[in-house]
Amino acid sequence: MNGIHDLGGRDGLGAVAPPESEPVWKAEWEKHAHTFFPLAFKAGMFGVDQFRFGMELIPPVHYLTSPYYEHWVDSVAYHGERTGFWTAEEIEKRYQHYLSNPDEPLPPDQDPDGELIAFLNAAIPAGVPAGRDTGKAAKFSVGDTVTVTSDAPRGHTRKASYIRGRTGVVVLAHGEMIYPDTAGNNQGEAPEHVYTVQFTNEELWGAEAAEPNGTVTFDVWEPYIRPAA
Amino acid sequence: MSTTEKATHQEQIAARVKAIESLMIEKGLMTTAAVDRLAEIYENEVGPQLGAKVVAKAWTDPDFKKRLLENASTACAEMGIGGLQGEDMVAVENTDDLHHVIVCTLCSCYPWPVMGLPPNWYKEPAYRARVVREPRKVLSEEFGLDVPDSVEVRVWDSSSEMRYWVLPQRPAGTDGFTEEQLAALVTRESMIGVAYAKQP
C-alpha cells in the first residue's frame, strides 16, 4: 500500500538527532509490547509479513508521532481481533479498567510447564527462516539489468515507492523466500526468488538532486522486476 | 484516575498493553515470566558485543573473513551467533573505495543476533527517509562522519529478510592487538555504517 510507512526519500522529516546513549527499553510497557511479537506469532495471530502490514494500517499522523513499540501494540491488537482471539470491545473495556486502575496487577501466569519460556529460549537462537526451496528456476542472474514494475498494490508489499519504475543491476541472488505480497495479505507463502538490485543515486533522484558517487541496494522478489528495455 | 484527569500518552499505552496482555495471559498465550526472560536476553545476552567479536575475528583471521563475506550466517554460526532476525545475514566490507550504511526504509529491520535491538533513531522516520536520498549529508550532519567524494557510499535497504551489516575497516595503529582489544574498538554505529571503528 502507498502508506506513510514507505518513507524512503521523503523530505521534511527533520533531524535524526541520535542521543549519546539510551536504554534498550525506554519504559516498562515496551518490554511487554516486545514480548507480544514472538508469543502472538506462536499463538498463530500472524507471520512477520502480516505483522508488518498491521503496522502499515496505522493512521499516518499517529504512525509518524507515536513511540516505536506502540506500532507493535497496534498490529497485535489488529491481528488478535482479525483472528478471533478478542474483540475491539473487550480491549476497550479492559483498557478503560487499567486506565482507571493503573497499579492493578496482571492476572496470574498460567504456564506450569514453562512452555513459553522454553519457546523463547529455542526460537531466539534458532530464528524463523524465510528461505524456501520449491525448485523453481530463477529468471534473473547477477549482472542482469532490470526495471522495477510500476504497479502500486493496495495491500502489503515490499516494493517501496522510490524504486518503482527504476532500473538497476542485480548484484546478489538469494534463492527463494516467502513472498510478502501473498503472505502479508493472508494468502500464503507462495515463495519467489529474491535478488539484491543496485541503483545509482542519479537513477533514483535525478542528476540535479542526487549526491555524487553513491548507490542504493534494494531487495526485490522476482515478480517486482522485468528485464530492462 | 478520575475522568477529569487527562492521562498522559505513556499512561494510555501502558493501560492498552495491560489490556492485551491480560487477555493473552488468561488464554495461556503469555506470562510475565516470559516478559522477564525476553528482556534478559536483549538487555544482557544479545547485543553489539557479539558483532564486535565477529568483526575482530575477521580482522585477525583472513580465512574466517573470507567465509564471513561469502556467508555471514554460517560464519557467525561457527561462533555460536545467530537466530531471530538474522537468519540470513550478509556482511559488507568497507574499503578505501567503498563505505556501506544500512537502513530499513519500510519498517525497522536490523540484524538482532549480532547487534541486539536497534537504537530508536534507526527505527524512526527521519533516518529512514533521508539516508537513501542524502546519505552523505546524514552521515556528516547527524553523525559527524565526512566520507570523501572519492569513496562510493552504498546504502543497503533491508526490504527482504536478508539482513545486511557492515564490516568496518580495521583502524591503523592496531598491529599486534588481540581479538579482545580489537573488539573493544567496534561499535554498534560502526556496524550500521554511521561511524568508523574507534581509534585505539
- Give yes or no for A88 touching B (CB within 8 A): no
d(CA B65, CA B48): 18
Same domain, A198 and A116: no
Reading the block at residue A55, the C-alpha cell is 503496522
pLDDT per residue over A62-73, tens digit each?
999 999 999 999
Residue B187 has what pLDDT? 98
Same domain, B126 and B169: yes
Residue B2 has what pLDDT? 47
Residues 6+ apart with CB under 8 A from B70: none
Residue B5 has what pLDDT? 65
Segment A77-87 mean pLDDT = 98
- Give yes or no for A151 touching B (CB within 8 A): no
DSSP three-state, residue A7: coil
Query: Which residue on chain B is closest to A72 by alpha carbon?
Result: B17
Percentage of the residues of chain A whose pLDDT score is greater than 90: 99
Task: Choose one of A95, A126, A157: the last residue of a domain.
Answer: A126
pTM over 0.95: yes
Among candidate residues B108, B140, B158, B160, the one labeled active-site is B108
Residue B4 located in a structural domain: no
- Least Cα distance to B137 among A217, A16, A6 occurs for A16
Segment A8-13 mean pLDDT = 98
Angle between helices A28-43 and A68-82 (to 10 degrees): 30
Q: Which residues on B lie below 8 Å from A14 (Cβ)?
A: 126
Q: Are the Cβ atoms of A94 and B19 closer than 8 angstroms? A: yes
Residue B79's CB is within 10 A of a number of other CB atoms, namely 14
Residue B60 located in a structural domain: yes
Q: Which of A98-112, B1-15, B54-68 has the lowest mean pLDDT?
A: B1-15
Same domain, A73 and A161: no
Give the burial string for A118-142 (b: 16+ CB within 10 Å, else e).
Answer: ebbeebbbebeebbbeeeeeeebee
Please say if B107 is a catalytic residue: yes
Q: Are the Cβ atoms of B42 and A34 closer than 8 angstroms? A: yes
d(CA A203, CA A225): 16
Summary mean pLDDT of chain B:
96
pLDDT over 60 at B1, yes or no: no
Angle between helices A28-43 and B32-40 (to 10 degrees): 110
Same domain, B88 and B151: yes
Q: Are the Cβ atoms of A25 and B26 closer than 8 angstroms? A: no
State the best of B101, B136, B161, B166 to mutate against chain A, taking most chain A CBs within 10 Å: B161
Number of domains in chain A: 2
pLDDT per residue over A128-186, tens digit each?
999 999 999 999 999 999 999 999 999 999 999 999 999 999 999 999 999 999 999 99
- Give yes or no for A91 touching B (CB within 8 A): yes
- Give yes or no for B69 touching A (CB within 8 A): no
Same domain, A119 and A42: yes
Residue B6 has what pLDDT? 79
Residue B1 located in a structural domain: no
Residue A9 located in a structural domain: no
Reading the block at residue B79, the C-alpha cell is 561462533
Binding residues of B for Fe(3+): 104, 107-109
pLDDT per residue over B127-153, tens digit each?
999 999 999 999 999 999 999 999 999
Segment B48-59 mean pLDDT = 98
Same domain, A173 and A112: no
Residue A192, phi then psi, degrees to nearest 5: -135, 155
- Least Cα distance to B24 among A182, A116, A70, A215 occurs for A116
Segment A185-204 mean pLDDT = 98
Segment B109-128 mean pLDDT = 98
Radius of gyration from C-alpha coordinates of chain A: 21
Residue A71 has what pLDDT? 98
Please say if B76 is a catalytic residue: no
Segment B188-200 mean pLDDT = 98
Domain that holds residue A171: 145-227
Same domain, A42 and A90: yes
Residue B39 located in a structural domain: yes
Segment B181-193 mean pLDDT = 98
Q: Which residues on A lie below 8 Å from B137 (Cβ)?
A: 211
* Residue with the larger pLDDT of the pair B7 and A105: A105
Summary mean pLDDT of chain A:
97
Q: Which CATH number characterizes residue A208's domain?
A: 2.30.30.50
Query: Which residue on chain B is closest to A3 by alpha carbon?
Result: B106
Q: Which residues on A lie below 8 Å from B141 (Cβ)?
A: 15
Q: Are the Cβ atoms of A198 and B105 closer than 8 angstroms? A: no
Q: How many angstroms from the chain centroid is the CA of residue A135?
A: 26
Domain that holds residue B130: 47-192
Whats the size of chain B, residue-wise? 200
Element (H, E) at A194: strand A192-200
Q: What is the ipTM of this complex?
A: 0.97
A135 — alpha (psi -120 to 50), left (phi > 0) or beta? left
Same domain, A98 and A154: no
pLDDT over 90 at B3, yes or no: no
Q: Are the Cβ atoms of A177 and B160 closer than 8 angstroms? A: yes
How many Cα atoms within 13 Å fall on the side-chain side of residue B66? 3
